[in-house]
Chains A and B, each alone.
Chain A
């Protein structure tokens, strides 16, 4: 293997010495803290970065914060841990780390990590995404992602569609990493905030702008300057907020709450939703010009149940990522492939965590049943739930249940009217609703009443 340029981020002197010995023959720089590591990465380009997640007792997440810059700089990023905290390892992979090395493991060696790096390096750039970030053999999904990757370095806004847990945030992050933008990747879940709070979150505020604004805070728009603003659940944004955001996107200027001084920010917008945005436009819930502005390219991620061939490779990937070894009997594999995965890849990750913690020996279909049930319970309510989708639930929390139910009624009625040439009698019959409900909805939308 050719001499590699390696950054070793490790604060324990013995662990550092062990790794330096294992990596003999390569050019290894060592950093004992996040600041020194960041300084090294600014000065030099590394092939590999070995990163101890546990950099001192004061800040348990200091190591995590180095993953994104290392991966964005093109380094094969390996996290190291002597203990496996599934949640942190999972977060590390979401942030773009490529590999995991279990310190003190008798079955895993640094040489194996270097071999995996060599294989990774030999792959075409696009294939690297499918090896480490999006494990999929599904042709429509690969085509959609490949198409999006072609536009990663452009300013084109991208809209990612797909049910909960299919990797929309992951794709947005990959697109940002490959955009060449030096600014940060800023993710905002629009459905997680009430309207006024979302405005403060996005635009920031000055001291005294509203009750409780004891100090000034810069908003996410400013933080995304030179980078990417990822707006998840964009369909839940109010019309008023869409108007303000549209202006900020187009003019690259906005006013924080309580300020008459404009702030400038140039960012690329990537949005995601599981809702039918054209239907929201038809229902008057989404501004047409805002919709036009955010969907330069649309990427659709399919639910896991529609790509059963991905289940076992994904399972193997997450097992390896956490340094776990569990074997499955043939009947268990068949059951995994046939499972509906309502929580999609997120549910599968939960299953791996549960299996890693509790399964012993060969997992059979019989033992798998209990774990599948628990993983389902741990995964968030997904779009496929017939009674309540994730988006609906978040809206109910953000807007209050009554307002959310009204909004759903309005959307259903507007769509039915559109599909039936505006005939109210047809809508009444199709939706089995009262005349009063129909007119109340029309009044809310300002159509009549």
Chain B
């Protein structure tokens, strides 16, 4: 992996984790419906993060 690709990977991981961290902090005060929506979006984000890491590994 070259320097540019590595920088992009770090950037993508940081960005995606930042949203996950913020969303996790909001789960406690969320209503049932909101929590379900958050969890769905968090799962999508986690999947996207997983794909990013898989692509980097190949």
| Contacts from A to B (Cβ < 8 Å) | 12-15, 17-18, 21-22, 54, 57, 82-83, 103-104, 106
Contacts and interface: CB of A to CB of B under 8 A. Distances in A.
Which 9 A-B pairs rank lowest in CB-CB distance, beginning with the nearest? Answer: A104-B18, A82-B18, A103-B18, A83-B14, A82-B15, A14-B41, A15-B19, A104-B21, A14-B19
Interface string B11-52: 100111111111100100010001001100110110000000
B5 interface: no
B19 A104 contact: yes
B38 A17 contact: yes
B1 interface: no
Contacts of B17: 82, 104
Interface residues of B, number: 22
A22 to B, nearest CB: 8
Contacts of B14: 82-83
Contacts of A103: 15, 18-19, 22
Among A14, A15, A18, A106, chain B packs the most CB atoms within 10 A around the CB of A14
B10 A82 contact: no
A54 B8 CA distance: 12
B11 A21 contact: no
A13 B44 contact: yes
A426 B45 CA distance: 78
21 contacts: A12-B19, A12-B45, A13-B41, A14-B19, A14-B41, A14-B42, A14-B44, A14-B45, A15-B18, A17-B23, A17-B38, A18-B23, A21-B34, A22-B26, A82-B17, A83-B11, A103-B15, A103-B19, A103-B22, A104-B19, A104-B20
Given A12-B45, A14-B19, A14-B20, 13 more contacts: A13-B41, A14-B38, A15-B18, A17-B38, A21-B26, A22-B22, A54-B15, A57-B8, A103-B15, A104-B19, A104-B20, A104-B21, A106-B21
Contacts of B41: 13-14, 17
B32 to A, nearest CB: 14
A213 B20 CA distance: 51
A166 B20 CA distance: 41
B51 to A, nearest CB: 14
B21 to A, nearest CB: 4
Contacts of A15: 18-19, 22
Contact of A18 (B10, B16, B22, B44): B22
B15 A14 contact: no
A14 B23 contact: yes
A113 to B, nearest CB: 13
Contacts of A18: 19, 22-23, 26
Contacts of A22: 22, 26
A243 to B, nearest CB: 47
A15 B26 CA distance: 12
A89 to B, nearest CB: 14
B37 A17 contact: yes
B47 to A, nearest CB: 11
B24 to A, nearest CB: 10
A57 B18 CA distance: 17
A204 B40 CA distance: 53
B26 A12 contact: no
A127 B8 CA distance: 39
Contacts of A82: 14-19
Nearest to B42: A14
Nearest to A103: B18
A106 B22 CA distance: 9
A104 B17 CA distance: 8
A17 B38 CA distance: 8
A13 B30 CA distance: 17
A17 B41 CA distance: 8
A52 to B, nearest CB: 9
A12 B30 contact: no
Contacts of A106: 21
A250 to B, nearest CB: 49
B25 to A, nearest CB: 9
Contacts of B11: 54, 83
Nearest to B30: A21
A136 B40 CA distance: 48
A20 to B, nearest CB: 10
